[in-house]
Structure 1
Amino acid sequence: MSASLPRHASRRRTTAVTLAASALALTLAACGSSSGTGSAMPGMSGMTGSAAPSASAMPTMSGMDAMPSGDGLSATSGGYTFTANAAAPTADRASGYRFTITGPDGKPVTDFAVDQTKKLHFYAIRSDLTGFQHVHPTMAADGTWTAPMAALTGGTWRLFATFTPASGSGKGTDFVLSRTVTVAGTSTDTALPQAATSTTVDGYTVTLSGELMAGMAHSLTVTITKGGKPATDLQPYLGTYAHLTAFHQGDSAFAHLHPTTAVTGDHGGPALSFHAELAKAGNWRLFLQFQTAGTLHTAAVTVHVS
């Protein structure tokens, strides 16, 4: 953050007022980009980790793909709109969900930049944070995308699209937009599992460590083991060793936790680092996707953010 005095200050200002204004500017500049003051408080119940790293120790966006901004709870942002071209999916049946991204001129966007090996990422999550899907649609020449969705259960779902225009007024800006759909059929909510620091999937144990506080950037470490031994057979998936997405309980706000561990070959792990910034306090459901021996695994765990 920076602050400066008006260019045309009144000549009638007293020296005291000028000094006060200057002091205020210096105070604001000293604040930098900090989101808060005081010592860090644990953001995950029972999670181990050192105090929050200083701003200089945190990974910066320089040299890494920028994360989508906002919580994704709107269908429109910056003149870009997520427009549905089909009715809501039918319960218990796989379908192709068609949509377009229209630009400020009202026309479908067809020029997208590649992010983590794809031009657009599509997610589906039920209101109780179950049924997670992360797929990669195909785009027709006219800008119509088709997302191959697995069968959905009855209830309210939020569908997200994350993308970066490669041209136009939004060139280089990362967007996350969403729409809600109601799938007809029996709707029974599943209680969100309690916050934890580890979970298992397909014989792998995923353990999280770090401190998370709402609105503050922190480093999150994910360690993967199998049979009590470090897992070092992680294969690249979407240009990284793991993909981590989070959704907020209550409103399904979206967050993508960017990986900061470089890919150096076909045998990643066991520890992976992520740049984590969750905007809201409360419970979040994290979905970690990683690949071994050609098989994609999805581990889900609940964390609590103070």
Structure 2
Amino acid sequence: MFTSSFASFRRSGLPRRRTLAVAATATALALTLAACGSSGGSSGGTSSMPGMEHGHGSAGPSSSGTPMGDMPGTGRMASGAGAPSDTRDGYRLVSADRRLPSGRRTAYRFTVTGPDGRPVTGFALDQTRRMHFYAVRSDLTGFQHLHPVMAADGTWTAEPASLAPGSWRVFASFVPASGAGKGKDLVLSRGVFVSGDDRGTAPLPAPAASVRVDGYDVRVRGALKAGTASPLTVSVSEGGQPVRDLQPYLGTYAHLTAFHKGDLAFAHLHPLTEVTGDHGGPDLSFHAELPTSGDWRLFLQFRTAGRLHTAAVTLRVG
């Protein structure tokens, strides 16, 4: 359904942390953010926008798995190179679900098999979870980030909420706790079609430097060029006043995932800002390296007063 190149990143000296490493460059950065909602799976309340949902359940049982040695505020990046694929390094994403209904919450079931062909049941903690699951519409107008539940036999169940009709792609991001892939960040992907009256492909919003999301003003400062490294700063304010009460979410003050327009190449980064309790902000520092030029759609998630906010971001990389 799609061809792409997964971004493969690792921060030197932190082999078990996902990062988008980067160096400064002169290409102008422009972002457009549109409010995205959170599904009822998140605790503490949600924000909503059709097609943009976020929910999470607790990760299911695992035969083993050790914490990833989290350093406060340090991100880590999904590794793996090549087109989005259901196989990588001997691991495979297996699912009988090729079509899903639209307009209601539904179950997507899958397993991850290892090089021996057997379902993997041991997953290491990665940003407080053993599995991160993403559902992304082909035109990037739909996005859900879920934390599915695993049964004892290794079957995971994610429950996307009200997917819009059309072509989607799902991504499973995880770290095996043992075996050939122990400690390695892996991302596997499969296509899925959502039945119903497909509205067709929507144009990607034009880049912009800032946007208001759920009453918050989000501004991005930085410059990016494909394949190089540069700093990125996200600032959050409300009513003209800096926001200083960002709460930890998945062990950081913000969660940021990126998909390349057209081929859905995947990238994942977190702020470098140290987590010091329920008083993060207003500025969040990131390092970013996106492998190819063009438009990327970023999904920034942050929490205040127990409520999760999601902003869709169009990033142009030179």
Once the two structures are superposed, residues 137-189 of structure 1 have per-residue CA deviations (whole angstroms, 9 ceiling, x without a partner) of 01001100001210111110010010000100000100111111111222222
**Residue 227 of structure 1: which of 230, 239, 246 is its match?**
239
Q: Distance in 1 between matches of 2:151 and 2:168?
A: 25
Q: CA deviation at 1:98?
A: 0.4
Closer/same/farther in 2, CA of residues 97 and 229 from structure 1, 3 Å limit: same
Pairing 1:90–2:77 present: no
- 1:52 is aligned to none
Which of these residues, 180, 203, 216, is aligned with residue 191 of structure 1?
Answer: 203
Correspondence 1:236 to 2:248: yes
Distance 1:162-1:67 versus aligned 2 partners, 3 A rule: same
Q: Distance in 1 between matches of 2:99 and 2:153?
A: 21
2:147 and 2:22 map into 1 onto residues whose CA distance is 37
d(CA) in 2 for partners of 1:250 and 1:207? 25
The structure where helix makes up a greater share of residues is 1
TM-score with structure 2 setting the length: 0.77
Residues 229, 245 of structure 1: alpha-carbon distance in 2 compared, 3 angstrom cutoff: same
**Aligned partners of 1:257 and 1:277 also within 8 Å:** no
* C-alpha separation in 2, matches of 1:45 and 1:208: 8
Match of 2:271 among 225, 246, 259: 259
Rg (Cα) greater in structure: 1
Question: Which residue pairs with 2:307 in the alignment?
Answer: 295
Counterpart residue number, 2:295: 283
Superposition deviation, residue 45 in structure 1 = 4.3
Does structure 2 retain, via aligned residues, the 8 Å contact 1:249–1:285? yes
Runs of 4+ in 1 over 3 A off after TM superposition: 62-66
Provide the secondary structure at the position in 2 that maps to 1:162: strand
> Of 46, 69, 76, which residue of structure 2 is paired with 1:66?
76
For 2:146, the equivalent position in structure 1 comes to 135
Q: What are the ranges of 5 or more consecutive residues in structure 2 without an aligned counterpart?
A: 1-20, 33-69
1:101 to 104, 109, 112: 112
How far apart are 1:218 and its partner, in Å? 2.2
Q: Which runs of 5+ in 1 are unaligned?
A: 1-34, 48-61
Q: Does residue 1:113 correspond to 2:124, yes or no?
A: yes
Q: Give the AA of the match of 1:214.
A: A
Partner amino acid, structure 2, of 1:40: T
Using the alignment, how far apart are the partners of 1:294 and 1:46 within structure 2? Answer: 26
Kindly indicate whether structure 1 or structure 2 has the higher relative contact order, using CA contacts under 8 Å at least 6 residues apart: 2
Whether the 8 Å CA contact 1:290–1:296 is kept in 2: the answer is: yes
3-state SS of paired residue (2:256): strand
Give the aligned CA root-mean-square deviation in angstroms: 2.3
Counterpart of 1:203 in structure 2 is: 215
Cα distance in 2 between the residues matched to 1:46 and 1:241 = 19
Q: CA deviation at 1:278?
A: 1.0
Letter in 2 for 1:233: D
- The residue identity in structure 2 corresponding to 1:174 is D
* CA separation of 1:237 and 1:45: change in aligned 2, threshold 3 A: closer
TM-fit CA distance, 1:36: 11
Query: Deviations for 1:180-209, whole angstroms, at most 9, x for unmatched residues?
Result: 111122222221100122122100111111
* Identity value in percent: 59
How far apart are the structure 2 equivalents of 1:268 and 1:258? 14
Correspondence for 1:169: 180
Residue 159 of structure 1 is matched in structure 2 by 170
Distance 2:76 2:217 in 1: 29
Rounded to whole Å, the distance in 1 between the matches of 2:255 and 2:125 is 16
Aligned to 1:270: 282
Q: Is the 2:25–2:228 contact (alpha carbons within 8 Å) kept by the matching residues of 1?
A: no
Q: Deviations over 1:33-71 (max 9, x none)?
A: xx999x933142499xxxxxxxxxxxxxx9546311136
1:181 has 2:181 as partner: no
The separation in 1 between residues aligned to 2:208 and 2:75, in whole angstroms, is 29
Tell me, yes or no, if structure 1 residue 250 matches structure 2 residue 235. Answer: no
Contact 1:73 1:177 survives alignment (8 Å):
yes
What is residue 41 of structure 1 aligned with on the other side?
26
Deviation for aligned residue 1:219: 1.9
Query: Which residue does the alignment assign to 2:66?
Result: none
Partner of 1:95, secondary structure, is: coil
The one-letter code matched in structure 2 to 1:75 is D
